[in-house]
Amino acid sequence: MNETAAMAELDIDPYSAENLHDPYPMHQRLRDAGPVVSLRPYPRVVACARHAEVHTVFNDHATFISGAGVGLTNFNHETPWRPKSLILEADPPQHTQTRAILSRVLSPKAVTLVRATFAAEADALIDRCIEKSKREGRIDGIRDLAQLYPLKVFPDAVGLQVEERANLLLYGDMVFNSMGPRNELLAKSAERVGPVTQWIMQQCQRDQLRPGGFGDQIYQAADAGEISHEQAPMLVRSFLSAGVDTTINGLGNALYALAHHPAEFAKLRADPALARPAFEEALRWESTVQTFYRTASRDTTISNVPIAADTKVLCMLASANRDARKWPDPDRFDIGRRPTGHVAFGTGIHGCVGQAVARLEGELILTALAKRVACIEVAGPHARRLNNTLRALETLPLRFVAA
C-alpha cells in the first residue's frame, strides 16, 4: 500500500480576469505546487495541472465521471442550465451508445468525404483575405478568417441553414462560460443567449437538416433503433455546442502563434506538409479548451493524494500541454515538434469526437496560408475575448503579403 501524501493549497482563482488574460504564470505555480492542488476560493475543487495526472484522471472514467458535469457545477447537487448532453455529460453505458454514433458520423473515413469541399473553401477564403489585406492594409484574423471558415464549412457539413449562423457563436460562448463559476462572464453570456436557445433547438429538428448531412445521419441512427427519436435532436445539439467555437479559436490561436513566430511560418512555407503537425503544435502551445472537470465517483487517490467522493477535479489541459515534465522547452512554439500525447482534445473515452474534422480544418487553412501567403505580419494590438473555459481572441489585426 502506498503512503498517502498531503495536498498543497493555493489561493488561486483560475477565473479571475488576470488569470484568464494570461493563464501561464498560474499554470506554473499550480504545477510546481504538487500533483494535485486545492484552490482556496473553491473548497470542493482540486486541480491537476501536470500532464501525468490529467492523463490519469481522463483515462479512469469509472472513478472520475462526467455525468455530474464537466464544469464547476456539480450536477449531483445543482441543476444544469440546459438538459444534460447525452455524450459530454454522460457515462457508460449510455455514453458508449451515443459515442459510437458520433464516432461513426465523424470518423476519419467520413471526413475524407468532405475534404475536397473544405479545401476549396479554405483556398477561396485565404484569397479573399489576401485581397482585403491589400485593399485595406489589414484583416482581422478572427472576424475575417477564424470565424468565417468554421461557420461556413462545419454547419454546411452538418446540414444547417445558411441564415443566422452567428447565433452559434453566442451559443458556444454560453456553453463554455457555463463550465466556470457564476461570474459576470456567465451572466452576460446568458443574457445574450436567451433568445438564441430556441433557435438552436429548432435547428436540431430533422426537417431543418439537409438529408445526408452529419445531422441527418444522427436521425438515421434513430431510424435504425440505435437511439430514440427524442435523443436525436440532443445529439445534433452536440455538433452545434462543440463544433464551432472550439475550431474558431483553434484557428485563431494558430494564426496568433504563426504571426508571432515568423521563423516558424517560414518553415511552414518551405514545407506545406508541415501544416498538420503545425496545427497540432498550436493546439499544444495555446490550447483552445483550457479546462474540463471530472467528479470523483468514490473516495480515491490521485498520485497518492486522497480525494474524497464527490470532489470536482479540475483538469487543466492547457497547463498539461506546457508541463516541462512531459515536453522539452514547453513554452517554445516549434512546428517541428511532434506533440503526440497533448491533451488539447482531451484523452480517453471522452476525447473530442470531432477531432478528425477539427484537424482537417486546421490542416487546410494552414496549407492554404503556406501556399498563398509570403508572410503574416502583426498589424495592430490583439484583444482577448475572455471565456471561463476557452482561450479566445476577440480581434487579431494581421497583414497578409501575397506569395
Partner 1 sequence: MPAIVFVHPDGSSQTIAATEGASVMQTATGAGVSGIVAECGGSAMCATCHVYVDPAWADRLATPLANELEMLECTAAERQTTSRLSCQIKISAALDGLVVRLPERQQ
Binding residues for partner 1, rule: CB under 8 A, are 99-100, 103-104, 107-109, 276, 280, 338, 340-343, 345-349, 351-353, 355-356, 359
Q: What are phi and psi of 212, to 5 degrees?
A: 95, -15
Cα 124 to chain centroid distance, Å, stands at: 25
In the chain, the N- to C-terminal Cα span, in Å, equals 63
**Measured from the CB of residue 387, what is the shortest distance to partner 1 in angstroms?**
24
**Measured from the CB of residue 280, what is the shortest distance to partner 1 in angstroms?**
7
**Measured from the CB of residue 38, what is the shortest distance to partner 1 in angstroms?**
28
Q: Which is nearer to partner 1, 240 or 353 (CB)?
A: 353
Enter the DSSP assignment of 146. Answer: I
For residue 78, give the C-alpha cell. 445543482
CA distance 369 to 264: 13
Q: Which is nearer to partner 1, 151 or 360 (CB)?
A: 360
Q: What are phi and psi of 110, to 5 degrees?
A: -60, -35
Enter the DSSP assignment of 289. Answer: B
**Measured from the CB of residue 59, what is the shortest distance to partner 1 in angstroms?**
8
CB 367 within 8 A of CB 275: yes
Residues constituting the chain = 403
Q: Which is nearer to partner 1, 189 or 247 (CB)?
A: 247
**Measured from the CB of residue 81, what is the shortest distance to partner 1 in angstroms?**
28
**Measured from the CB of residue 279, what is the shortest distance to partner 1 in angstroms?**
10
Residue 342 contacts by C-beta under 8 Å, 6 or more apart in sequence?
280, 283, 284, 287, 320, 321
Q: Which is nearer to partner 1, 38 or 238 (CB)?
A: 238
Q: Which is nearer to partner 1, 98 or 133 (CB)?
A: 98
Alpha helix (H) ranges present in 137-292? 148-158, 167-177, 184-203, 214-223, 232-242, 245-260, 262-270, 275-285
Q: Which is nearer to partner 1, 362 or 397 (CB)?
A: 362
Residue 336 contacts by C-beta under 8 Å, 6 or more apart in sequence?
267, 274, 277
CA distance 275 to 282: 10
**Measured from the CB of residue 191, what is the shortest distance to partner 1 in angstroms?**
36
Q: Which is nearer to partner 1, 91 or 140 (CB)?
A: 91
Q: Which is nearer to partner 1, 208 or 303 (CB)?
A: 303
CA distance 142 to 144: 6
**Measured from the CB of residue 259, what is the shortest distance to partner 1 in angstroms?**
25
**Measured from the CB of residue 108, what is the shortest distance to partner 1 in angstroms?**
4
Residue 88 contacts by C-beta under 8 Å, 6 or more apart in sequence?
66, 70, 238, 241, 242, 350
3-class DSSP state of 388: coil
Q: Which is nearer to partner 1, 59 or 395 (CB)?
A: 59
